[in-house]
Structure 1
Amino acid sequence: MKSYFYLLSLLFVFLFGINQSQAQNRFIEAADQAYTNLQYSIAATNYKKAYTKAKLAAEKERILFRLAECYRFINDTHNAEITYGSLVRNGYGRQNSMVLLFYAEALRANEKYEDAKDIFEQFAKAEPKDPRGQNGIISCDQAKRWAQAPGKYEVINERKLNSSEDDFSPAFADVNYRSLIFTSDRDASTGKSLDDWTGKNFSDLFSSSIDQKGMWSEPVLLDVSGVINTKANEGSATMNSTFNRLYFTRCPNNKGRESGCQIWFSNKGENRWTNPEMIQLSKDSTIAIGQPTLSSDELTIIFSCEKVGGYGGKDLWVSTRNSINEPFGAPMNLGPEINTPGDEMFPFLSGDSVLYFSSNGHIGMGGLDIFKSSRTGNRWSKPQNLLPPINSSADDFGIIVVPKEDRGYFCSNRKGGKGGDDIYSFSRPPIVYTLKGVVKDDRSLQFLDGAKIKLLGSNGSSVETRSDPKGNYGFSNNQLEPNVTYDIEAGKDNYFTKKARETTVGIDRSKDFVINFNLEPIPDKPVILPDILYDLDKWDLKPQYQDSLQGLIRTLEENPRLVVELSSHTDARAGLEYNDQLSQKRAESAVNFLIERGIDPGRLKAKGYGKRVPRTLSQDMVREGYTFKAGTVITEEFVASLPDKPTQEAAHQMNRRTEFKVLSKDFIPKPINKAITPHIEIVTVPDQDSVKLTSDEEGFLIIPVIANGINYSVSLAEGDDSYLHFSKPETLKLLKEGVISKNDFDGDSEAVLANSTVADKAVFKLREVRIGTKTIKNIKASVSALQKVSIMMGEEMLSRFGQYTLDRKKKLLILK
């Protein structure tokens, strides 16, 4: 029915193309006859054969043009592109500019937008008054952007409704909008012969209903009595608002005389349909009138038709009446806002004020696209393209929409269908937001269990959750709402709180938000702030260094219960009293700046240390080309030992610093409990250390060792291994307790510490290792997944502490 209605009006347009005076072989005669009868598949087959027989260039060109037209009419865009392309390259577009248009449309339908744009530009130059040229150029640019960002609808091929043939033009058939009437030319259609016009079965109206499980019933003929479905083509129907009257299109196939298409109506009885009556909308029975849609009161009908007074191809027309018992008045064209030089078809009126229709004349993606226009008074708004995924580069048409809902059905012959034209459903899936993430210790990259995560919405909502042993947390859909901005706080005892922000404002489709947190442990030692430099003998905080305090301000704002000390230090030059006073004033200057920025004074303490606490470097630093090693204490003596004045000045500058440390975490100042160093029994004699050893069940000697300030019992293995070897559980314990951090590992710490574990054979650094009174710094240790004891070292490791004697019988280690 779609093809029949689409092609019927073309008969009168293309009859001029036959030149009976030309000598024709039998293939040409057969092809031309089929072409005249709109039997384009048959015509194409014969034109291909005739092309090989033709001798004259003009005749070959005429045949090639007809072949291209056949491919266009049967919607074979691939072969249409090839054939029109041959014509254009041979210069045929200069004789007939429409070939340029058809070639460009085929390219666009095949999603070759750049090539199509070039040909549309040629057509626009040849036919500057035809809007299809400029519209085509714009559409090629638009289509690429639209395809890359499809809209919010979910589109599903309703395969239970569809067949291997054409299935299209659905219409609602009941008050619950769970039954459909649609058009199909499938094998079950009435009549056994083929339609001479389309080469397919005659189309009929079928019906199907969907159950509570979303399953469609097997489609059946709407009528088997011959009242609605006949041996002619029936289709493109609609029902009135009470679903007791059917309006449909019928295209008779009267032998021996021309016949168009008309709109008929039939009333629904108990178990039957009344005999249809034709709606008189034109005195000319040979024109194609069809695809009706009606207002809720049945007093206005809109339909598609190509007739005198239109704007080019098929247009949308409207007719009204005063009561349903009266005939409709003379049709009026909906005007240039809706209609174009192309085709406007398949109207659907929703709520009496919103018109959906399909067009290949407005700016679209190719073929027929579905558009929407709203009526205010007697004026229609500029049609809006419904965009992907509803529209595609193929034909998209026949849309119907459930009242007051954002769902419905439409038809398309896009790729991936079951047959030719298929019925698709569309709906806007519910918008679902979720938020999840993982919380880790920033120092060790291990998962944090029991971290508290708060979700605070701009709508006043507040919910919280805690992370699980794997560090996972999450908020479900019922906890996140549309158009709300959320502040997310993650915190845990003895860790700095961190904040993040996310919003659902403007997010019109489902989204899973992911925000991970790496929480920093609150350090026991002071944290050095970025450089804050002062003029000589001055303590005013210069504007260019105020940014150095922004990070601390943010930390204090995110952790409102912290009480901190800001300390200022000078270099070793000048006297103690002078430096003490200067550093105190500088510390107070920093505190005053924080107070001005809204930090409660009760949370701040200023302390000037003068030159009393020289800086101890936590990592290697390069200044003036000189490498200052980690662990270096920048004393006066150390500075004096440096090789030149610039290097000495760099050392002085590193001592001039501002630090902060956390005094308390509950807004009540209290002293920080210092870690108690485990007692190691050491017997000291002049010039040597004697360290008592023990042994374990395996017979290994156990050496008491202090590593990074923590007491350990280390198993001594025979051999020349110079590494300390930690078991995997012991390494993870070090990480969890903060004895080592991610920064101590060689290589990519993210990979080494992935999935809250530690890789076998990973290497990390210990700042210092002490046995007895002997200390060595920056010792490499490795991880052994198979090691059973917690820590092990070889005798070669002992040699790094100097000369030693190992008395295994007395279980005594003597370091000289």
Structure 2
Amino acid sequence: MKNLKYFLGFTCLVLWMGCNTSAALQKGDTAYGRLEYQKAIDYYEKGLKSDQNPQAMVQLADSYRLTDQYDKAVYWYGQAVEQPQVDPQVKYYYATMLLATGNTEEAATWAEAYTIARPDDSKGQALLESIQNQELLTKSKLSYDIYGVAFNSENSDYAPMFWNGELIFVTDREGKTDPWTGRSYHALYSTQNGMLDAKALPGNLGGAYHNGAASISADGKTMYFTRSQARKEKGRDDVVRLSIYQAHLENGQWIEGAPFPYNSSEFSNLHPSISPDGKLLIFASDRDGLGGRDLFVCRDQGGRWGPPENLGAPVNSSGNECYPFLANDGNLYFASDGLPGLGGYDLFVSSYENGFWTSPRNLGGEINSNKDDIALITADGLNSGYFASNRASGNGTDDIFQFSRKKGSINLNGIVVDEFTSIPLPNVAVTAINQLTGMKQTFTTSNDGRFSFSLDADAKYIVSGILHEINTTRETVLTFEVPEDEPLFVKLTHNDPRFSLNGKALNRTTQLPVEGAKVKLYNVTKDEEHVAYSDAEGNFSFQLTQQSDFQISGEKDGYFTSIQEATTKGLDRSTTLFVKLYLTIEEIIIGKEITLDGGTIGNVNFENILYDFDKSNIRKDAAVELDKLVKILQSNPTIVIELGSHTDSRGEDDYNMKLSQARAESAVKYIISKGISAGRITAKGYGESRLANHCQDGVRCSEEDHQMNRRTEIKILKF
């Protein structure tokens, strides 16, 4: 979640070096400088295959980190830190990503390396303390039930806020696409009583880009919210400024009002929170402070806001503080990545005593995780409330969670099995939805297909699962009058009518595996395409639907694209579960001549192209072979070839030269008529100038020997 929602309200100034030389890396630099991280990822991944540029490695790792792809960020930071003269900041981010993915031991190693390189930066020491205090922080004095709310989507949902019995929150589930994330711009939505339905906030808040985290006054009529400004591109810097705006409720519609008087083009203000009595406004800003972003407070001065004051230590750290919430219990709740925690952003609470904010208390492992946990709100002193997190149990990139102190509960155990084979199924996402409250819990089945939930007593639940976009059976579970020491048990079955296709990409010449081949599965019947990449052993796999025909193609730079076919028509799922496919991929050699008489390209076998005596027209049997060549050219759109025609030595030299040229041109015209560009194929007649054997003029040879010289060859000129 260190993506847009943290930049909605602070400056993101990217200073990048543009030192990369390949075209792909240069395009990656441009996209990175514009904060278009999804595009940058595509270009860097391509460019780094041939150019191991250290700066590109760092910026690819940054791009993965800023789009919540932590495992890939770990890999590329790991590559970058091994490069000479690496910036110590890379070691810090490597440690944070290792911690976020659960590798605490290695995270400690790199956090310590950062503190050695930057001993004056307190955030390194704070990160070390977070790692060392993992066990202590996971022990909480309070016990909570935590549920993903029913209105979460597959997109980002975060920053909840109470409003007249409803919840306002931020989401990117709909709208115009932001090139930074490849997802929709963020907007404010509302939902009633935690139900499934959510709708855009009524009114017109304006803004061409993002509207972010909001806070509403106690009377429900005034709202302060975050908005992104237009990007300014000057040279190779890209600046995003965020500001706070005011809105008023008029006839059920939110109408945009005046901007916050302390907005500036030099820094950002974000994440406003107004106190219940309306006298304080706390917000985050990257103006001069103790760290990246600090919390500031403005005080009401007769109907206008006084100047911002930094809350100072111990609330602010050398890291980032964000998402403040001034609760009606007088406490300040906020998120920080600079104070000791479990990793990423943790949630903290501080109280105002004797004119000062107390040292923040980490809310512990019952609420916090080793991922990012932010934007907590509560109306009853942490007995219940909401927060947002990108922890692995959520529905989408970021989700909103509801928490409540535990009361009487019933344990539910269960298992998911295949309907036909009764084999337990791992990795099934099982949900239990409380039909009275709408609260939803999610659990992923273990390797033995099992799952478990702690359910509220005296409630009704619907339990179901999903795997490969196919639902399991649904079970209704009643927890009325069930003894707490007697766990319930349910069995869910899953009927997946698809087949598994396993394949192996091989080098045709060496028969060794080809790693990183791009394999495309095209469902001819349904007009659908899926993509996978072969692993170090050349293996790849797909799921196939019933009663369908498929084309499977494999491609990699420097190799011919190879095509195979498969079908599930007529196959019985109960007896045939797997189809094995071995792709053959042939290395391309520029200038190599391939004879179309038993020769092969990829896994396509060719027969000779035959002509009638003293003729150059294309016969039906020759058209079959030329059609094979057309398919190869269609599958490999960058290949340029020469089609060469040869004769035997019988006849006059000039005549044989003209005849072979006419035959080659006839074949080329046929291929062009099938849609191949004329610029990709050249006709060349060689006559008898390049005999394949000893059968020169005056030498007696058999008809078979002469036939060897009457041949058509392909020469690859460019790939």
TM-score if structure 2 supplies the norm length?
0.54
Q: Name the CA distance, whole Å, in 1 between partners of 2:323 and 2:199.
A: 23
Secondary structure at 2:272 match in 1? strand
Q: Which has the higher contact order (CA 8 A, sep 6+)?
A: 2
Call closer, same or farther: CA 1:277–1:248 in 2, change over 3 Å. Answer: same
Distance 1:391 1:150, change over 3 A: farther
| Counterparts of residues 694-713 of structure 1 (less than 5 Å) | none
Do the aligned residues in 2 keep the contact of 1:113 with 1:144 (CA within 8 Å)? no
Which residue of 24, 27, 32 corresponds with 1:30?
Answer: 27
Where does 1:130-529 land on structure 2 (aligned, <5 Å)?
130-147=121-138, 151-158=142-149, 160-174=150-164, 178-187=165-174, 191=175, 193-210=176-193, 216-223=195-202, 225=203, 227-228=204-205, 230-253=207-230, 260-282=241-263, 284-307=264-287, 309-324=288-303, 326=304, 328-351=305-328, 353-404=330-381, 406-430=383-407
Code of the aligned partner of 1:312 = G
Looking at structure 2, the residues matched to 105 and 2 of structure 1 have their Cα atoms a distance apart, in angstroms, of 11
CA distance, structure 2, for counterparts of residue 68 and residue 145 of structure 1 = 31
Work out whether 1:14 is the aligned partner of 2:14. yes
Deviation by residue 1:706-748 (Cα, 9 ceiling, x = unmatched): xxxxxxxxxxxxxxxxxxxxxxxxxxxxxxxxxxxxxxxxxxx
CA contact (8 A) 2:10 2:242 kept: no
Instruction: Name the % identity.
Output: 30
Answer whether contact 2:54 2:83 (CA < 8 A) is retained. no
- CA separation in 2, counterparts of 1:245 and 1:196? 32
Deviations 1:646-676 (A, max 9, x none): xxxxxxxxxxxxxxxxxxxxxxxxxxxxxxx
CA distance in 2 between partners of 1:288 and 1:3 (Å): 16
Distance 1:2 1:262, change over 3 A: farther
Could you tell me which residue of structure 2 aligns to residue 574 of structure 1?
none
Aligned to 1:39: 36
C-alpha change, 1:70 and 1:405, in structure 2 (3 Å) is closer
Q: CA deviation at 1:203?
A: 1.0
In structure 1, what residue type is equivalent to 2:191? S
1:208–1:219: 8 Å Cα contact kept in structure 2? yes
Instruction: Describe the shift of the 1:96–1:106 C-alpha distance in structure 2 as closer, same or farther (beyond 3 A).
Output: same
Could you say what secondary structure the match of 1:30 adopts?
helix
Partner SS for 1:322: coil
8 Å contact from structure 1 (residues 116, 140) kept in 2: yes
8 A contact 1:151–1:387 mirrored in 2: no
Letter aligned with residue 146 of structure 2:
V
User: Which amino acid in structure 1 is aligned with residue 17 of structure 2?
Assistant: I
Distance across 1 between alignment mates of 2:316 and 2:240: 25
> Contact 2:333 / 2:349 at 8 angstroms: preserved in 1?
yes
Q: Deviations over 1:475-519 (max 9, x none)?
A: xxxxxxxxxxxxxxxxxxxxxxxxxxxxxxxxxxxx9799xxxxx
- Counterpart Cα distance in 2 of 1:118 and 1:6: 27
Cα distance per residue 1:179-213 (max 9 Å; x no partner): 100000102xxx4x312333321111111111xxx
Tell me, in whole angstroms, the C-alpha distance in 1 between the residues paired with 2:75 and 2:142. 32
Q: Does the 8 Å contact 2:9/2:226 carry over to 1?
A: no
SS in 2 for 1:274: strand
Displacement of 1:276 in angstroms is 2.2
Asked whether the 8 Å contact 1:151–1:388 carries over to 2, the reply is: no
What is the DSSP-based 3-state SS (H/G/I as helix, E as strand, rest coil) of the residue aligned with 2:14? helix
Q: Is the 8 A contact 1:338 1:383 kept in 2?
A: yes
Residue identity opposite 2:406 in structure 1: P
Letter in 2 for 1:277: A
Give the direction of change, closer, same or farther, for the CA distance of 1:431–1:374 in structure 2 (3 Å limit).
farther
Amino acid paired to 1:3: N
What SS class does the counterpart of residue 186 from structure 1 fall into?
Answer: coil
CA displacement, residues 563-599 of structure 1 (integer Å, 9 cap, x when unaligned): xxxxxxxxxxxxxxxxxxxxxxxxxxxxxxxxxxxxx
Q: Report the CA distance between 1:323 and its aligned residue.
A: 2.7
Indicate conservation of the 8 Å contact 2:188/2:201, yes or no.
yes
Match of 1:453 in 2: none
Contact 1:413 1:420 in 2 (8 A): yes
Query: How has the CA–CA distance of structure 1 residues 313 and 23 changed in structure 2, closer, same or farther, with 3 Å as cutoff?
Result: closer
Distance in 2 between residues matched to 1:11 and 1:261, nearest whole Å: 7
Q: Does the residue aligned with 1:310 lie in a helix, a strand or coil?
A: coil
Distance 1:2 1:250 in 2: 17
**Could you say which residue in structure 2 is the equivalent of 1:490?**
none
- For the residue of structure 2 that corresponds to 1:29, the secondary structure is helix
Return the offset for 1:151: 4.6
Indicate the residue corresponding to 1:82 in structure 2: 75
Summarize the Cα distance change of 1:366–1:247 in structure 2 as closer, same or farther, 3 Å threshold.
same
- Please list the CA deviations of residues 257-305 of structure 1 after superposition, one character each: whole Å capped at 9, or x if unmatched: 86621111222122322332211113x2353211110122322110011
Q: How far 1:112 moved relative to its partner? A: 1.1
**What's the counterpart of residue 469 of structure 1?**
none
CA separation in 2, counterparts of 1:398 and 1:318? 17
| 1:320-360 deviations in Å (ceiling 9; x for gaps) | 12233x2x222111102111111100000113731100010
Tell me the amino acid that sits aligned with residue 376 of structure 1.
E
Q: CA deviation at 1:410?
A: 0.2
Q: Contact 2:12/2:240 (CA < 8 Å) preserved in 1?
A: no
Counterpart Cα distance in 1 of 2:396 and 2:93:
25
Tell me which residue corresponds to 1:63.
56
Q: Which amino acid aligns with 1:171?
A: M
3-state SS of paired residue (2:177): coil
Task: Indicate the SS of the match to 2:245.
Answer: strand
Distance in 1 separating the partners of 2:214 and 2:31: 30
Distance 2:382 2:49 in 1: 57
1:537-578 C-alpha deviation (Å, 9 max, x unpaired):
xxxxxxxxxxxxxxxxxxxxxxxxxxxxxxxxxxxxxxxxxx
Q: Give, in whole Å, the separation in 2 of the partners of 1:256 and 1:126.
A: 33
Contact 1:265–1:276 (CA under 8 A) maintained in structure 2: yes
CA 1:149 to 1:357, structure 2 compared with 1: closer, same or farther past 3 Å? closer
Match 2:118 to one of 127, 130, 140: 127
Task: Give, in angstroms, the shift of residue 153 of structure 1.
Answer: 1.1
Q: How far 1:217 sits from its partner (Å)?
A: 4.5
Structure with greater strand percent: 2
Find the aligned partners of 1:432 and 1:163 in 2 and give their Cα distance: 27
Q: Do the aligned partners of 1:318 and 1:334 also contact (CA within 8 Å) in 2?
A: yes
Correspondence for 1:115: 106
In the alignment, is the contact (CA less than 8 A) between 1:157 and 1:424 conserved in 2? yes
Distance 2:10 2:188 in 1: 24
Kindly indicate whether the alpha-carbon contact (under 8 Å) linking 1:5 and 1:288 is maintained by their aligned counterparts in 2.
Answer: no
User: 2:409 and 2:2 mapped to 1: Cα distance?
Assistant: 39
SS in 1 for 2:322: strand
**How much has 1:2 moved relative to structure 2?**
7.7
Structure 2: distance between partners of 1:321 and 1:335: 19
Quote the Cα distance in structure 2 between the aligned partners of 1:412 and 1:23: 36
**2-structure distance, mates of 1:351, 1:156:** 23
Distance of aligned partners of 1:12 and 1:48 in 2 relative to their CA distance in 1, 3 Å threshold: same
SS at match of 2:219: coil
Change (3 A) 1:96 1:150: farther
What one-letter code is carried by the residue in structure 2 that aligns with 1:129? D
Which AA in structure 1 matches 2:3? Answer: S
Partner of 1:374, secondary structure, is: strand
Aligned to 1:520: none
